Each structure stands twice: as structure tokens, then as C-alpha cells.
Chain A
Amino acid sequence: MSDRIVFDNVSKFYGDVLGVNRVSLSIPPGITSLVGPNGSGKTTLMNLMSGLIRPSRGHIRIVDLTPDQPEQLFHLVGYCSQYDSLPKGLTGYQFVHSYLRLYGYDRVKSEELAWSAIDRVGLREAAHRKAAGYSKGMRQRIRLAQSLAHNPRVLVLDEPLNGLDPLVRAETIALFRGLAKEGCHVILSSHVLHEVDIISDQVILMSGGYVAAEGNIQGVRSEIEDHPMQILIRCDRPSELAARFFGEDHVVEVKLHNDRRGLLVKTRDPNRFYLLMNRVALDGFAVESVAPCDDDVNSVYEYLIGTEEATR
């Protein structure tokens, strides 16, 4: 039995408008972030995963199930969509509880699961208030509670951190990490790239309906051969070291750091550069640290998709 979410050459067109095109993915358990500008196909990919829309071409399998099998699939999948709406007339608790009854749970079990989910998102005190009167952040949290109340193995979350205050945001990220540690799939989309960087085990970079890159962020960065990698070196004699690097053909740029205690080096061949650093250390330079400084999501995103589209 596969534990992966598989997209096999999936395309989705809305009439003449492209949603996603020829997407092939195999997503392992853990936290996977979908990153891309508006209209890049993130939500389409999530809606396809949850069966809200059907692919025009290709096949999707969610841990050995297809989105055409809602009776089995939605015991496994929870989806917190981007739509900031709730059914009318229900309190937060009623919302979570009522929809749990659709899973076939009896009243007692539904109550237990509903309170457990509400507690996980920290909304117990407001649970008996009408959901229509909730703030944006509270609505986001109650929708999150509803999507994870039945303890799904696959949690799909469209912009789940939107509207959350910093404290709740941190708690929510911790919740995602906990779920990922338990072996769940947590698939989320976000524009907040530094958060994606912190929480993601893997990223899928989307652009114009296509998958621009996928995998763990360091792996993706190392695959970008046509863009020099930037490395920060902290050392005692940065100017002398800079002079030394100028003689190397794979080094394309050397800059003294603003604090004059380090160098920013751009190289086309990181492997040769690290070998060079070994020799530098033997030549008596006191090197404190050597660290790539552009293998975060933001940098990769900028390289692949373009600076103008990077949100941060």
C-alpha cells in the first residue's frame, strides 16, 4: 500500500483557461508546501486532491484511493479551503459537530471529537457563539478545527495561516509539525515564504499552472545550475581571502560583508568551492563558518519564478 499522494500527468482546464498542466508529483508524508503567485495553480491542485474538481486529464491517487471515492477518501482526508465562509445559523461548536455526524459517528463520539478539535485550535471559549460573528482569525481556526476533527491522515490546507495572530500562528505551526511527526500528510499553500521555509519538509513551486520545482528546498536549490550559489564565509581576514577567490574561474562574484567580518561569494560550482575552502583553511585562514545563504524558499522562488512575483 502506497503512503503517497500521486499526480500522474494531471491537467485541469476551466474552459479555455488553464488551471494546471501536466502535473506529475509523488508527495511523501510530512509537511509539503505549495508555493507560487496568485493564479499559479495551488488551489486547483488542492481542489483536485479533494475531489471538488475533476481533472481534465490524468489520474490522482491519495494513499491508494481516488477522489471519486468520497465514502472512503474523506475518512482519510481533511481539507480546509480558502473560502472564508461558514454555513449560516450555526455556532462554532454546532458547525464542527454537525459535520462530524456526516462521518457516521454517533452523538457522543461526535461531541468528543468536536471538542477535541476545538481545543486544538484554542476556540473552546467562543465555541457556543454564532460563527457568523467570529473574527477572520477565529473563522479560520474553526474551519481548521472542522477539517481535522475526524483525525485525517491527509490534511490539505489552503492558506491556513492567513489572518492568525503570531501566537496562534506559532501554535498552528506546532500542530502541523505534530501531525507530520505522526506520519500524516500536511499539504499547505502559503505566501509567507519564511514560514514555509521553517515548517516544510518539502516544497512544490508552482508557476503558471506548471510545477516549477519540487523536493526539499536544499535539493531544489542545488538543481538550479544556471544560477550561482551565494555562500557567506565568516573569517578573520576577509580582504585577503577575497583576493584569493578572484583567481578561481568558478567564482563569479566576491563581496565584502557590510560588517567587514566576512565575505559573500557567488560560485557556479559549489563542490569545487567547498574543496577550495579546505585548502584555504590549511593555508592558515581562521574560518568561523561557511553557509549557503540563498537556499531558502524565498531565494529559490526568486530564481525560478521571478523577483517581481516573490511576495517577500
Chain B
Amino acid sequence: MNRVTWTQIRAIVRIEMKKTFFAKRGLWIYLLALAPVALFLTHSLVEIHQHGARRQMALKNGRPLTERDFLAIAAGMSRDEVTARLGDPPVSRSRTRRVRTGRNSFSAVSLETLRYSDGNNELVLTLKEGRVTGIGRVSGISLGQDSYVFAGVFQFFFIRLAIFFGCLGIFMNLFRGEMLDKSLHFYLLTPVRREILMLGKYLAGLLAATVIFSASTALQLFALMLQFDASTVAQYLDQNHGISQMAAYLGVTVLACIGYGSIFLAAGLLFRNPIVPAAAVLIWEAANPVLPALLKKFSVIYYLKSLCPVEISLDPGMPPLFALLASNPEPVSRYIAIFGLLALSVVVLLAASRRVRRLEINYATD
């Protein structure tokens, strides 16, 4: 590429950025990207509040409690046994309920709820007539558990829906939107090779998608970490591969934008109605685990799943659709996944460049 070509690409990117970042019709893409941020932020704020309440409860305990103390409580134990083991409950609530014992006879049953906390987890005991009948555990904040939830949201919602539809909105509009606005001809009347025009537009779309969705990924991780103290976060980052996991999530985000971007740019050149390619690609991506081995490779999610740092385990109780989406029967190595996805994107872009070379302006029929 010579200097003029670079100047042209930069000029196209500059024109497109204004349209992509500040378009009113693109507002929903920002909302889509920010939805999981809002989810994790809300979760963290709720956890921070509840964690504070549990710590207060723990301070009211007669003595400090541990996980072992909680595990020692079993159904059938008397209230005295419980208090002997855990001390006086910091929170208790008792009430009496009338229970029918015969046609016209009732008896009063005393019920009591005891709550203990070790400062993080909560133990809720239900006593009936002074005996433990129900044991409830409310787990406190756990980075391990939350990072697993994050992995689920990232794979099921963020990649498959947010980035997918975000890229649909950004990349399909690069050509199709200008045909609808009747302004594409301005580009086609300049001394720019059509392939260079397509490349410039793709890079502009990629820049926009990457900035929006990578920022979203970073904000999601930040929102998730917000509930933990600095030492827990430092430990996660230093000792539990936290930095490599975060880098992997950001990398997968960028690669998802590259892959879906190329597909929807090509779709924008081939289809008038975005619903058709969106539905087709969505189904194709969802059906990836059951496709033949060769066809699997023509899918973006096939490569992305192998790059996600936390694998979603297939629990027996998982709904079939989620089980299908989570399954990854043929994972590939990181390098093959990256190279494969980039190669797939290049192939799609080459096919799109053939289409753009033969593109004619006939707004009346578009």
C-alpha cells in the first residue's frame, strides 16, 4: 500500500467514525453494550450492601464463627445445642402458628428463625417447637463464584447477543445505511478502489465496535470487582491468573468484533433486510456444536468458545438450549482459534470485496 492509499483509508475511517459513533440510530448499540455493565454494577452494589449487613451481624455474635461451625449444625438439633455451638443468635424472630389437629381442635406451634453470620456467609435456621427443621445457607461474596457467573453472562449474553447484534447494527449499516440515505455514491465517485473503500469502512466499523464492546468488557470486570476488597482483587490478579483472564476476555471481545464484523459487512452488501442474515447467522452459530466437523470451522463462535478463559460446565439440570450453547465438543488450541478466526474473516472480506467491485448504485430499487 502506498501513501495515497493510507491517506484514503484514514479519510474513510474519519468520515465513518463520525457516522458510527454519533449516530442517533446507533444508541441501542450503546445500551446493549452497557446492559451487562449495569447488571454487574447492580449485583456489586447489592452485595456490598448485604456484605455490610452480614458483617454487622457477625459483630453481634457472642464469638467469631467459621464455616466449620455452620457445617456442625444439623436438622433435629435443639435450640440449646445450636446456641451452645454458635452462641446467642444476633438476629432471631419467633412467632406462633395455629395448626389444626382435629375437626374443631387447634394447637399453637412455636416457630423461630435464627440468623448467624461469619462476616461473609449467612446461616438461616428454622426451628419448630425448639428443634431445627430447616437449614439455609446464603453464600457471601466469592470471586470464584462470581467469575463463573461472569463467564456465563459473557458467553451467553455478551458474545452471542450484545456483540452479535451490535456488530449487525454497526457493520450492516456501513454500506446498506448509505444506500438507504442515498449517499454511498459520494464514495464511489472518488478515485478510491472499491476494495480500499470496503477496507476503510471495515476498519472504521471495527474501531467503533472494538471501542464500544472492549470498554463494556473492561467496565463489566471493574463492576464485578467493585464488591471485593483490594487484597482479594490483588490476590486474584497476581495468583489466580486474573490478568490473563481479563486479557483473554478483552481479546475474545476484539476477535468477536473482527469475526462478526466481517460477516455483517458482507451481509450488508448482499441483503436488503438485516433480519434475514441476522436470523440465519444466529441459528448457524447456535447449531455449531451439532454441525459436521468441517462446517463447524465456518463459524465465529467455534473459535471464540475455545478462547474463553472459563469453561461453562454442563450441569445435568441445565436447560437443553443452554447446554447446546455451552457445549464445546471439539475445542482447539488458542493459536489455531485465533488464526482460524482471522482466516475466516479474511475469506469473508475477500468474498465481500468481489461483491463491492461489482456494486452498482440504483437507489430506486434499494
Contacts and interface: CB of A to CB of B under 8 A. Distances in A.
- Counting chain A residues whose Cβ lies within 8 A of the other chain, the interface size class is 20 to 34
Interface string A75-102: 1011101010111111000000011011
A52 B15 contact: no
B192 A102 contact: yes
Main secondary structure of the interface of B (DSSP, over half): helix
B190 interface: yes
A14 B188 CA distance: 20
Given A98-B14, A102-B12, A87 B183 contact: yes
Nearest to B16: A87
A146 B14 CA distance: 17
B363 interface: yes
A99 B186 contact: yes
B189 A50 contact: yes
Contact of B186 (A51, A73, A146): A146
A301 to B, nearest CB: 25
A252 B154 CA distance: 89
B200 to A, nearest CB: 9
A266 interface: no
A74 B191 contact: yes
Nearest to A79: B189
B362 A14 contact: yes
A47 B18 contact: no
Interface string A263-276: 00000000000000
Interface string B22-36: 110000000000000
Interface string A1-31: 0000000000000100000000000000000
B356 to A, nearest CB: 12
A83 to B, nearest CB: 4
Contacts of A81: 185, 189
B182 interface: yes
Given A52-B360, A101-B11, A104-B4, A83 B182 contact: yes
B160 interface: no
B191 A85 contact: no
Which of B8, B181, B186, B361: most chain A Cβ within 10 A? B186
Contacts of A85: 181-183
Contact of B7 (A70, A72, A104): A104
B187 A83 contact: no
A50 B360 CA distance: 11
B365 interface: yes
A87 B15 contact: yes
Given A88-B23, A90-B18, A102-B11, A70 B191 contact: yes
Contacts of A106: 7
B191 A104 contact: yes
Nearest to A104: B4
B191 A103 contact: yes
A71 interface: yes
Nearest to B200: A102
A54 B359 CA distance: 9
7 interchain residue pairs of minimum CB distance: A101-B11, A104-B4, A85-B182, A102-B190, A74-B191, A52-B361, A83-B182
11 contacts: A52-B361, A53-B361, A53-B362, A70-B188, A70-B190, A79-B185, A87-B181, A88-B19, A99-B190, A102-B12, A146-B186
Interface of A: 14, 47, 50-54, 70-75, 77-79, 81, 83, 85-90, 98-99, 101-106, 146-147
Given A70-B191, A71-B192, A102-B11, 9 more contacts: A14-B362, A52-B189, A83-B183, A87-B19, A88-B181, A90-B15, A99-B190, A101-B7, A104-B7
